[in-house]
Amino acid sequence: MDAELVRQRARARTRHSWRHTAVSALGPLTALVGLVWALIQPYRITLLDPDKHSFWYLAVQPPLFVILVGVVFHFWLVPGLLGDLEEVEEHSS
């Protein structure tokens, strides 16, 4: 009987909720949007022509910020959010 409960619990943990999937996908999707934006509007990425601009103008470009925000969100914030989400889902079921 106890082994059956353990198997059921293990199966329940492997299936993720739509919230888990949505939170996990936010960072990569944001970075992808930044990359697409940079490809659609390459004139915004002034790294391609560095002789005409100062350092800050080269480093501070919106598509690069969007990619950076997606990466930071995915690697620094998502693990904590998913841990909290799993706790909430365990207590609610």
Q: What is the pLDDT of residue 6?
A: 59
Mean pLDDT score, 12-20: 76
52 pLDDT higher than 60: yes
Longest Cα–Cα distance in the chain: 73
Q: What is the residue-averaged pLDDT of the chain?
A: 82
DSSP SS3 for 92: helix
More confident residue, 50 or 21: 21
Mean pLDDT score, 63-73: 94
Q: For the chain, give every domain's residue range.
A: 18-92
* Confidence label for 81 from pLDDT (cuts 50, 70 and 90): very high
